[in-house]
Structures are given as C-alpha cells and as structure tokens.
Amino acid sequence: MRGINSESIDLIATDPPFNSKRIYNAPLGSKASKQRFDDRWKWDDVTDDWYDVLSSKYPAIKEIIEAAVVIEGGTVDKDTGAIDTGPAENSVAAFLAWMAPRLIEMRRILKPTGSIYLHCDPSANSYLKLLMDAIFGRNQFRNEIIWHYQAGTKPRTAFGRKHDTILGYSVGRKWIHNRQGQPVRNPERYTEIDDDGRKFLWGGNWDKALKRGSKKYYLDEGRACDDVWTWIDEPELSSLNSQSRGNYTENYPNHKSRIKNNGYTNHYSGPDHKKYKYKKDITHPNQTP
C-alpha cells in the first residue's frame, strides 16, 4: 500500500485475518498445497519500528492495544511501556498492533469521499471497532453489517455462531453511497398500479379519508438494502460445494459485489498479507486469507 498515492482510492473492502486462534492447512491439490496459515498472533509478528510509531503518533491506538494486553492477563510497564502478554499463546493485542498500521495506510489512500468496509468475526470485532474509531473517527462510523449464514456448527452450550460483521466507515462527512434495491419478499402485496403501469404499495402515514398512504413503494425498485444480510438475500449460497464448504468469502461474492456496487470507480481489496503467500488458495472456515 505504501506505493499507492494518497487520497486516490474510492472504496476499500478488506477481509483480513480474524485472529481465530487456529492453524489452517491449505487443501491438497491447491496451488498452496502443503502450506499453512497460522492465525495465532504473537509480538514476534509485530515490528518494533511500527509499534514505536503507533506509540508516539497515535496515543489512542496505543491505549487500545495496552488495554487489550491487560484484559488478556498481561501487563504494561508504566515507566518503560514494555509489554508482557503473559502465558497466552495468542494475543489479540499483537493482532491489533499488526492491523493498526495497515488500517492507517488505508485511511491515507482513501479519498475524502471514500469509504472502507472491514470484514471481521466475533474473535476480535469489538476490538477492531475501537481501532477503527481511533483511526477514522467515531463520527465516521456508518454501518455495522451483520452477515448471517446458515452453515456452521451446532453448539450445545450456547447459541450457534452463524454471522460475521462488516464495519463500514467513511473518511469525511460527505461520502458516496448509492441505494441498492433487493427483491421484495411479498410481491403479491403490490396491488396498486400507477398511470405508467408500475405496481406499487402504499406506505408512510395512512390517510383514512383518502384510504391511502403518503408514500409509494414500487415493486420494480425493490426493498432497501438494510444492514442484515442473510441466506435469503444471497441465493448464491445454495451453490456451495462440499470441497469448499465454509469458504464463504471466496465462494459467495454477493456481499462484496453489493459493496462495490455503491458506484465507486477505484477500489482496493484488502491489506497486503505478507505473513502468508497463498491469499486466494487456502480453504478454511469463516475467512479467506
């Protein structure tokens, strides 16, 4: 990203590692066969130079990372700032320190009217929300999109975890967002027809005297796309094959195309994950490196 000009990108849709605390092996027969991706994070994955920059120029980010250290049971030396994550083999604080400089770079290359959509799961989404608030500004938060899918486990001691989160932020107060319609669920309710032959449904404030609403909702415009994207909204899910089961992001492009269809011309898809080399080839649950 360092080679990309500042304020040159309209839209970023990024699907970084999820800090799932697991090791994933590439499937046999793929281009990345015999390679693996370690989604467990340690301070060895964070360069001292970048953390020094975060500490000096971004105090809010530094405090978020240090708070994560303490929550995990680690300590932060008040005099030196040295971090000890304790016995934990996986550190969400280290993950945040790895993510922060990449999100800062994304903020730099976005246009003043640009937006970013960050795909994450429950492993670290609450921490990433704070990180995004610190980098883009709390007032620039636009959406928390819930991407609900049907595939997954059936736990006996909790509700099934069957959704990811997509955090949407804009750079400035004016941003591009083109309304997108999706098929209505009850087309038979659109019984009214206007002078042009278009079917519609009355809505808004109801006028008892006129027996109609104050607003027309047209069938051909579809219903507004909300912030909960479900199996029903994404018919591509039915084409899931057993060999790639769980690889939602790569096999179900509808949620990404929905973001791209906001009318942008220049878009950048995700950070340069130098920690691994097989970004498009590995298959594992919940995220595509």
All residues at 6 or more sequence positions from 130 whose CB lies less than 8 Å from its CB, including other chains: 64
2 domain residue, yes or no: no
Q: What is the pLDDT of residue 262?
A: 59
**What is the predicted pLDDT for the residue at 244?**
30
Residue 237: predicted pLDDT: 36
Q: What domain range is 23 assigned to? A: 9-178+249-268
pLDDT digits (tens, 9 = 90+) for 157-171: 888 888 889 999 999
Which pLDDT score, from 0 to 100, does residue 161 have? 81
pLDDT value at residue 89: 64
| 164 in a structural domain | yes
Euclidean distance between the first and final Cα of the chain, in Å?
17
- Please tell me the predicted confidence (pLDDT) of residue 196: 93
Q: What pTM value is reported for the model?
A: 0.72
- Tokens 């693996």 appear where? 36
Residue 123 in tokens: 């492993």
Q: What integer pLDDT is reported at residue 17 of this predicted model?
A: 79
CATH number at residue 63: 3.40.50
Residue 234 lies inside a defined structural domain of this protein = no
Q: Which residues of the chain have pLDDT under 70?
A: 26-28, 30-34, 45, 47, 49, 87-89, 151-152, 231-289
Residue 114, in any domain of the structure: yes
Strand, helix or coil for residue 174: coil
Give the H or E element holding residue 54.
Answer: helix 48-57
> Does the residue 20 lie in any domain?
yes
> pLDDT value at position 271?
43
Whether residue 200 is contained in a domain is answered as: no
Instruction: Round the CA-based radius of gyration of the chain to a whole number and report it.
Output: 22
> Per the structure, how many domains does the chain have?
1
Tell me what pLDDT residue 278 has.
27
- Whether 222 maps to a domain, the answer reads no
Tell me, what's the pLDDT at 139?
95
Q: Is residue 51 in a domain?
A: yes
pLDDT at 220: 87
